[in-house]
Structure 1
Amino acid sequence: MRKNSALLAAVVYSIIIGLSFMFVKISLTYEGQLLILAQRFTFAFLGLLVFLAIRPINLRLNRKEILLVLVISLFYPLVFFSSQILGLNQITVTEAGIIQAIAPAITVLLASLFLKEQVQRIQALGIFLSIAGAVFLQLMNSSGGYEFHLIGSLFIVVSILATAIWQVLSRNATKTIAPIQITVYTMFIGLLFFNAVYFISGGSASDYVNSLTEIPYLMSILYLGVLSTFGTSLLSIYAISKLPVIQVSIFNNVATLVTILSGILILNEQFHYYHMIGAMVIICGVILVNVKSVSKQPT
């Protein structure tokens, strides 16, 4: 039962993440990056407070646990959300979604190094295919009348690395710290950090409030804050606490597909034949990365 609930949490997490790229792009058409991040974590924390009012928990941690949570928070939310929004400000949702497909391969590498989760030869082949697919896409983008967004792509890669490190650290942390405890502290740190950066950089309280009068923007921020920040943080940490990191990482494929489809079907972004080829190579590689770990799980 616990395994099934963890798998369900991973699926829901991936769908929410897949759609989040679209809502980030929508929000960027209304406001700047700093305001979006500040409001995103404000709503995430408000959602968290509602959750805690319904289900109170003990938040007490010892010094070692607090230090571990602080390290986790450095990568998620601070580095992850900062690099993600900077990247999405320069590249399309479709490009970001395809690059995101290499995330499971990177996660597998880190899990094998730090969690000693075994990597089979077929998984190594999958890692190679995932990276080769991403390189192919960027080479095609830069040579076919389609601008190569180097800086934006690098920011997305940084966000992928931050996610992988966060997952590995969280797997260790959940041995002694409850997933909801980690979520509470990371959300609170994100709230303080991004709001402080916004106001220190010259942001005004009037802009903070008035921006929320635009309904499409408000809906985007609500989605990004409550579901894509607070919700996915709790869901992913719960899944990682019950399943191997390598197995959980396979669900990033769902996020990648949802992201690509949302960019094409909803935002009307262009889709070229080489996007399909690259996406298929990446996804096949990621499946190879994870197939062994999934099959070795006890039934």
Structure 2
Amino acid sequence: MRKNSALVSAVAFSIIIGFSFMFIKIALTYEGQLLILAQRFTFAFLGLLLFLAIRPINLRLNRKEVMLVLVISLIYPILFFSSQILGLNQTTVTEAGIIQAIAPAITVLLARLFLKEQIQRIQGIGISLSIVGVVFLQLMNNSGGYEFHLIGNLLIILSIFATAIWQVMSRSATKTVAPIQITIYIMFIGFLFFNAMYFINGGSVNEYVDSVKEIPYLLSILFLGVLSTLGTSLLSIYAVSKLPVIQVSVFNNVTTLITILSGVLFLSESFHYYHVIGAVVIILGVILVNAKQKPDCSNAT
């Protein structure tokens, strides 16, 4: 039963993240990155307070657990959300979605390094293939005369690394700290950090309040704050606490598909033939990474 719940959580997490790219793009047409991040975490924090009012949680942690949560918070939400929104401001949702497909490969690699999960030869080939697909996309963008989104795409890759590191660290952290406790602390830290950054950089209270009067912007921030920030944090941490990180990472394929479709269908972004080729190469690599592993007999005694 718990395994099924974890699988449902992983699917829900991937679907929400897939649509979040589109809502970030919509929000960026109204306001700047710092204000979006500040309000995103304000709504996430308000949602968290409502949750705690309904279901009080014991927040007591020992010193070692506090330090672990602080390190996780530097990766997610601070590094992840900063690089994601900066990247999307300089690339398209379609390209970001395709690049997102390398996330499982990166997660598998980090799980091998830090969780000592075994990587078979076919998975190594898959990781390499996914990277080749991303490089191919960038080369085709440049040679085809289209705008070259190198910086934006590198920032999206940085956000993918942040996600992978966060999932690996969360897998380890949930052995001693409850997933809900981790979520509460990282949401609170994100709320403090991004709001402080906004006001330190000259943000005003009037702009903070007036911006949410635009209905499309308000709906985007509500989605990003309550569902894509608070919701996905709860869902992802719960999923990796019950399932191997590598198994959870395969659901990034759902994220990739939804992100690409949302960019093309709702934001009318262009979609070229090389996007299809690049996507196929990347996803093929992901399939190889997540192929069912055969028992490793080389270590048999």
TM band (smaller chain): over 0.9
Distance 1:169 1:292 in 2: 24
Give 1:292 shift.
Answer: 2.3
1:12-51 equivalences in 2 (<5 Å):
12-51=12-51
Shift of 1:43: 0.2
> In 2, are the aligned partners of 1:247 and 1:293 still within 8 Å (CA)?
no
Aligned to 1:282: 282
Q: Using the alignment, how far apart are the partners of 1:102 and 1:95 within structure 2?
A: 12
Alignment of 1:164-243 (within 5 A): 164-243=164-243
Structure 2: which amino acid aligns with 1:164? A
Secondary structure of 1:292's counterpart equals: coil
Cα separation, 2, equivalents of 1:61 and 1:293: 38
Deviations 1:136-159 (A, max 9, x none): 111101110211111111111111
The amino acid of 1:255's aligned partner reads T
Quote the offset at 1:295 in angstroms: 10
In 1: Cα distance, 2:261 partner to 2:148 partner = 21
Is the CA contact (8 Å cut-off) linking 1:247 and 1:294 kept in structure 2?
no
**5+ long unaligned stretches in structure 1:** none
| Residue 233 of structure 1: how far off its partner (Å) | 0.4
**Could you tell me which residue of structure 1 aligns to residue 299 of structure 2?**
none
Partner of 2:95: 95
Count of aligned positions: 296
Q: Secondary structure at the match of 2:290?
A: helix
Aligned twin of 1:151: 151
Partner of 1:273: 273
Q: Could you tell me which amino acid in structure 1 is paired with residue 211 of structure 2?
A: S
Of 189-198 and 138-147, more deviation after overlay is shown by 138-147
Label 1:198 to 1:98 Cα distance change in 2 as closer, same or farther (>3 A): same
Secondary structure, aligned partner of 1:122: helix
For 1:203 and 1:43, how far apart are their aligned partners in 2? 17
Amino acid at match of 1:16: I
Gaps of 5+ in 2: 297-301
What is the deviation of 1:125?
Answer: 1.2
Instruction: Give TM-score scaled by structure 2 length.
Output: 0.97
Amino acid at match of 2:237: I
User: How far apart in 1 are the matches of 2:5 and 2:110?
Assistant: 25
Q: Could you list the per-position Cα deviations for residues 138-197 of structure 1 after superposition, in whole angstroms to 9, with x for gaps in the alignment?
A: 110111021111111111111111111111100000000000000000000000000000
- Counterpart residue number, 2:61: 61
Shift of 1:54: 1.6
Structure 1 ranges of 4+ moved more than 3 A: 293-296
Mapped partners of 1:151, 1:111: distance in 2: 27
After TM superposition, the structure 1 = structure 2 runs for residues 122-161 of structure 1, keeping only pairs within 5 Å, are 122-161=122-161
Q: Given that residues 40 and 224 in structure 1 are in contact (C-alpha distance below 8 angstroms), is that contact kept between their aligned partners in structure 2?
A: yes
Letter in 2 for 1:150: L
Using the alignment, how far apart are the partners of 1:294 and 1:18 within structure 2?
31
Letter aligned with residue 82 of structure 2: S
Q: How far apart, CA to CA, are the structure 2 residues paired with 1:216 and 1:4?
A: 35
What SS does the corresponding residue of 1:108 show, helix, strand or coil?
helix
Question: In structure 1, how many angstroms separate the alpha carbons of the residues matched to 2:151 and 2:128?
Answer: 23
Q: Distance in 2 between matches of 1:125 and 1:3?
A: 29
Check 1:144–1:110 CA distance in 2 against 1; reply closer, same or farther (3 A cut): same
CA distances 1:45-95 after superposition (whole Å, capped 9, x unpaired): 111111111211111000000000000000000000000000000100001
Measure, in 2, the Cα distance between the counterparts of 1:194 and 1:229.
Answer: 13
Q: Does 1:163 align with 2:163?
A: yes
TM-score (norm 1): 0.97
CA RMSD of aligned residues (A): 1.2
